[in-house]
């Protein structure tokens, strides 16, 4: 059997990448700088020092092409990495497509998603600089659980503000956070000024990521031994996730194949970037013509319907202003099931690449995503997270297009996590209780009247 008949392409531990790839080194122009929320001036490392350790601030601003993965971080990565690249042959057969479909499976981590790739690195650098505790926000709980895991492994305390509606609806992610020794509080809470002011306005608010970020940032800024940690959006988070794409490149090399299309779902953009950026490097160098497709829900259409503008990362306007596609920092998302895809903004690096035409954004209705996920579960076996379902469905659509066009192209998508804690969403889908919801234009227009005005 020739090598390109393999189904599961696994790397030996010793072949795991030892450096992350920093796309900033290869961009045609530097991304627009983040701005200080008070002065509107470009941010300096000192502005970020209350929130992040210096090593991460340096990575945030670095233009070095490769950054070494510390040995201790590699050691933790090896608990589940390298992750498999799998050829979805049974899905290919079901679709009767000439396309080759591969997925990179990040559901093998202890937390069940790609998020520990950055959580572990962030915990490490904070511990190295003497930080005692990390504070963060979480939506559906994937990030909170990943950071709880990482803090536990590096002996740090961990405090998680969890969006209230998820805290109530997703008790098992909350339990995971607690099993790994972290403290979790529903947001908005009375513990912070940001939380109290939101509760005064709307005691029954379901909460949002933007509000929870405000709470976490406030706590980090006010406590000497505590720093803040973000699970997506920022350059250093995307950097840490590139271990995914770097592994995938080696795996494609083993079967002598190379993707024509790279697909990922996007919330803040980190799992998509992690798979895509190493391949984008080849495109930026002029060596390849791969397409890159970033998939978002129609209920939170940041890339497809928001403007590319400076905005705050949080509701209380405490974070820096970053230039990104945005639905406005006051965005309170509808209760769709892909909780991890409900952030109002998008990573500045991905926003810039979309604006430059190097990444194609697509928005999917919720039912189409679940339909794809069920097809996938019934062919490949894996029950994917509702977020990942967006990537699955888009890969299926690409494969069906390849059939119509009679083209044998190579498709890869990032399977960002399993859906074992999201069975309530599958229940609702199977019972016919899920509906499509397209975010109303009126709400977008209104939110955008509150974008910051820059001098």
Ligand X SMILES: *Cc1c(COP(=O)(O)O)cnc(C)c1O
Name the segment binding ligand X (CB under 6 A); options: 195-203, 263-271, 313-321, 439-447: 263-271
Sheet containing 360-364, strands listed edge to edge, beginning at the edge strand earlier in sequence = 8-9, 85-87, 100-105, 410-415, 261-265, 291-297, 360-364
Q: Which is nearer to ligand X, 55 or 234 (CB)?
A: 234
Q: Is 271 a binder of ligand X (CB under 6 A)?
A: yes
Closest among 305, 444, 435 to 362, alpha carbons compared = 305
> Which residue do the tokens 């939170």 mark?
300
- Pick from 409, 417, 444, 447: which binds ligand X (CB under 6 A)? 417
- How far apart are CB 408 and ligand X at their closest, in Å? 29
Q: Is 387 a binder of ligand X (CB under 6 A)?
A: yes
Output the CA angle 168-173-176, nearest 5 degrees. Answer: 130
Asked if residue 68 lies in contact with residue 18, where contact means CB atoms within 8 angstroms, the answer is: yes
Which three-class secondary structure state does DSSP give residue 10? coil
CB-closest chain residue to ligand X: 417
- Pick from 261, 266, 303, 368: which binds ligand X (CB under 6 A)? 266
Distance CA 140, CA 208 (A): 10
- How far apart are CB 350 and ligand X at their closest, in Å? 9
Distance CA 398, CA 45 (A): 42
Distance CA 250, CA 254 (A): 6
Q: Could you tell me the CA-to-CA distances from 13 to 184, 247, 342, 394 in Å, in that order?
A: 34, 11, 34, 31
Q: Is 208 a binder of ligand X (CB under 6 A)?
A: no
Touching ligand X, residues 225-254 (CB under 6 A) = 232
Q: Is 84 a binder of ligand X (CB under 6 A)?
A: no
Site string for ligand X, 102-121 (x = CB under 6 A): -----------x-x------
Touching ligand X, residues 282-341 (CB under 6 A) = 340-341
Q: Is 142 a binder of ligand X (CB under 6 A)?
A: yes
Name the segment binding ligand X (CB under 6 A); options: 159-167, 220-228, 270-278, 394-402: 270-278
- How far apart are CB 57 and ligand X at their closest, in Å? 20
- How far apart are CB 433 and ligand X at their closest, in Å? 22
- How far apart are CB 232 and ligand X at their closest, in Å? 3
Closest among 353, 295, 363 to 324, alpha carbons compared = 353
Distance CA 342, CA 390 (A): 13
Q: Could you tell me the CA-to-CA distances from 287 to 110, 204, 295, 332, 333 in Å, in that order?
A: 36, 54, 25, 42, 40
- How far apart are CB 91 and ligand X at their closest, in Å? 19
- Pick from 192, 416, 425, 429: which binds ligand X (CB under 6 A)? 416
The site that binds ligand X (CB under 6 A) totals a number of residues, namely 20
* Residue numbers at the binding site for ligand X (CB under 6 A): 113, 115, 142-143, 232, 265-272, 340-341, 385, 387-388, 416-417
């Amino acid at each position: 059997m020739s090598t390109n008949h393999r189904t599961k392409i696994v790397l030996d531990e010793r072949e795991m990448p030892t450096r992350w790839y920093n796309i900033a080194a290869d961009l045609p122009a530097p991304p627009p700088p983040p701005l200080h929320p008070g002065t509107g001036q470009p941010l300096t490392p000192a502005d970020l020092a209350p929130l992040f350790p210096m090593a991460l601030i340096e990575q945030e601003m670095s233009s070095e092409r490769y950054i070494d993965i510390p040995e201790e971080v590699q050691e933790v990565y090896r608990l589940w990495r390298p992750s498999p690249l799998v050829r979805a042959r049974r899905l290919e057969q079901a679709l009767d497509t000439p396309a080759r479909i591969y997925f990179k499976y990040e559901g093998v981590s202890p937390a069940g998603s790609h998020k520990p790739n950055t959580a572990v690195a962030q915990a490490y650098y904070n511990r190295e600089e003497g930080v005692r505790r990390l504070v963060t926000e979480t939506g559906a709980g994937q990030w909170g659980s990943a950071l709880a895991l990482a803090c536990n492994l590096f002996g740090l305390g961990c405090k998680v503000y969890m969006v209230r509606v998820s805290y109530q609806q997703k008790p098992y992610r909350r339990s995971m956070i607690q099993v790994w020794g972290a403290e979790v509080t529903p947001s908005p809470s009375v513990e912070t000024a940001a939380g109290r002011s939101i509760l005064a306005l709307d005691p029954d608010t379901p909460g949002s990521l933007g509000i929870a970020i405000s709470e976490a940032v406030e706590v980090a800024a006010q406590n000497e031994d505590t720093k803040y940690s973000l699970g997506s959006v920022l350059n250093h988070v995307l950097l840490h996730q590139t271990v995914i794409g770097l592994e995938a490149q080696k795996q494609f090399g083993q079967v002598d194949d190379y993707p024509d299309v790279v697909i990922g779902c996007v919330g803040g953009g980190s799992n998509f970037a992690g798979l895509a950026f190493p391949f984008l490097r080849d495109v930026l160098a002029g060596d390849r013509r791969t397409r890159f497709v970033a998939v978002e829900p129609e209920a939170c259409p940041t890339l497809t319907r928001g403007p590319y503008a400076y905005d705050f990362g949080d509701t209380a306007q405490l974070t820096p202003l970053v230039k990104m596609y945005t639905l406005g920092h006051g965005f309170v998302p509808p209760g769709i099931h892909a909780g991890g895809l409900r952030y109002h903004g998008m990573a500045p690096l991905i926003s810039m690449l979309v604006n430059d035409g190097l990444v194609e954004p697509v928005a999917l209705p919720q039912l189409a995503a679940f339909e794809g996920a069920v097809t996938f579960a019934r062919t490949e076996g894996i029950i994917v997270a509702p977020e990942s379902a967006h990537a699955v469905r888009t890969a299926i659509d690409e494969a069906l297009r390849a059939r119509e066009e009679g083209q044998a192209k190579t498709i890869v998508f990032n399977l960002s996590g399993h859906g074992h804690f999201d069975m309530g969403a599958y229940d609702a889908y199977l019972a016919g209780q899920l509906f499509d919801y397209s975010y109303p234009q009126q709400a977008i227009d209104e939110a955008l009247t509150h974008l910051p005005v820059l001098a």
